[in-house]
Chains A and B, each alone.
Chain A
Amino acid sequence: MLGFMRGQPLLSTVIHREKMAAAPVMMPYFGQQISSKSDLVPDWTRQEVSTGTTIMAVEYDGGVVIGADSRTTTGAYIANRVTDKLTRIHNKIYCCRSGSAADTQAIAEIVAYQLGFHSIELDEPPLVETAANLFRASCYRYREELTAGILVAGWDKRKGGQVYSVPIGGMLVRQPVSVGGSGSTYIYGFMDANYKPGMNKEQCMELTAAALSLAMERDGSSGGVVRLASISEEGVERRVILGNQLPKFSTH
């Protein structure tokens, strides 16, 4: 039925620390032996495409703000420097993708289909929690084959703005603010210090843009532009912050 078959071995995206792009934990290193004829083609053609990434989602009273960087890497080559990692699952439910680009795209498409079907059956807009559970179901069942760290965020009539985190392994937890991806390690401290419950939409936007900029400066697998979106009862509003417009900090 819905099988996730991946024959390609996982390869590290960062040379010094064998850190998988999606998660701030050590993953086993399945290296490939490079033969001599491989000098004819660049290394990155044999590497898996990964959304290196920093993603973030914040709840506020009345909605959510989500953000992501825009870099997709195959090894050291940046395959796409303007990626859109904020993927629409339903009108007012989006997900932020990190980890393997192929895995997360496939899961997101499947969940979007399942949710669309479910919403028609219900004749109502679906709940964010439902979308999150659909992600979790796929990510947990196929946890050995997948590398996907996903933030599900949106607005529904029952609980307002919600952020759910579905990290690698397939657990599900709702959090007022959550970060993910390889760049997220660098901004846990910043997020803990600067997030306060009861912020409004603009404050959440600024916090997200600042956090993503900081992570993009430190993480080699994150960069490009900052994509933001806010989701509320009124609808979805998307923004892009280009490189030269990013918040600057004294050490830069």
Chain B
Amino acid sequence: MLEETGPEWLSEEVKTGTTIIAIEFDGGVVLGSDSRVSAGASVVNRVMNKLSPLHDKIYCALSGSAADAQTIAEIVNYQLDVHSIEIGEDPQVRSAATLVRNISYKYKEELSAHLIVAGWDRRDGGQVFATLNGLLTRQPFAVGGSGSSYVYGFVDAEYRRGIRKEECQQFVVNTLTLAMNRDGSSGGVAYVVTIDEHGTEEKVVLGNQLPTFFDQ
């Protein structure tokens, strides 16, 4: 007997296929992400912003299962609010990353999400932390998501310490574009968030404004 089960994508898990990246520059950090959310072969959201604020000057980039990643971000956002009231000042980026790591590690069997935490604080300036599988490590840059495999070589080759803000933003956009061109689970527009001591700036780069490469 054939049952009416509805379209396939209703029964597929919703994943943020994704490419996410965060890079330190001289004076802050730049985070970037694509905007595609897929359920199986369908794109269920083509304009999702995967750069989620944890605090004024601390953001995280979401990848993996959309539900898991969003929930972790919301919980940590709450915990950081409480923490920053307790200490009476802006929280450190390392604190935010530690809170994310604690959840990722404790529930590592149940969760399938990788969050990259990046931001600026007065003590250590711009910082990027990776929290994959429940580890915590500070890195000059971090890439994540299914699209990241395709751009490891590019980022390894092009990254330099101490680059300026505009160069860094362009680097992030280039990296996202290259990944989006090769990874079926990444696409849409590019969201870029820049955090430094003066504040936080959110930007969207639309599809037709993305850089093109030799075969396009």
Contacts and interface: CB of A to CB of B under 8 A. Distances in A.
A218 B213 contact: no
A192 B178 contact: yes
A189 B161 contact: no
A185 B214 contact: no
Given A250-B161, A251-B159, A192 B152 contact: no
Contacts of B79: none
B89 interface: no
B201 to A, nearest CB: 25
A196 B153 contact: no
Contacts of B185: none
A192 B153 contact: no
A190 B214 contact: no
A189 B154 contact: yes
A10 to B, nearest CB: 21
Given A186-B149, A192-B213, A192-B215, A249 B156 contact: yes
A192 B166 CA distance: 22
Interface in B80-132: none
B149 A193 contact: no
A251 B214 CA distance: 26
Interface string A98-123: 00000000000000000000000000
A193 B175 CA distance: 9
Contact of A193 (B156, B160, B161, B178): B178
Contact of A217 (B156, B158, B174, B213): B156
Contacts of B178: 188-189, 192-193
Interface residues of A, number: 24
B190 interface: no
Nearest to A218: B152
Nearest to B147: A189
Interface in B146-196: 149-161, 174-175, 178-179, 181-182
Nearest to B161: A250
B161 to A, nearest CB: 7
Contact of A185 (B150, B159, B161): B150
A168 interface: no
A186 B150 contact: yes
Given A186-B149, A196-B214, A251 B156 contact: yes
Interface in B188-210: none
B140 interface: yes
B153 A218 contact: yes
Nearest to B181: A192
Contacts of A252: 156
B154 A193 contact: yes
Given A186-B150, A189-B175, A218 B215 contact: no
Interface of B: 140, 149-161, 174-175, 178-179, 181-182, 213-215
30 contacts: A185-B149, A186-B150, A186-B152, A188-B150, A188-B151, A188-B178, A188-B182, A189-B150, A189-B153, A189-B175, A189-B178, A190-B153, A192-B154, A192-B178, A192-B181, A192-B182, A192-B214, A193-B154, A193-B158, A194-B157, A195-B214, A210-B157, A211-B153, A214-B152, A215-B153, A217-B156, A218-B153, A251-B140, A251-B159, A252-B156
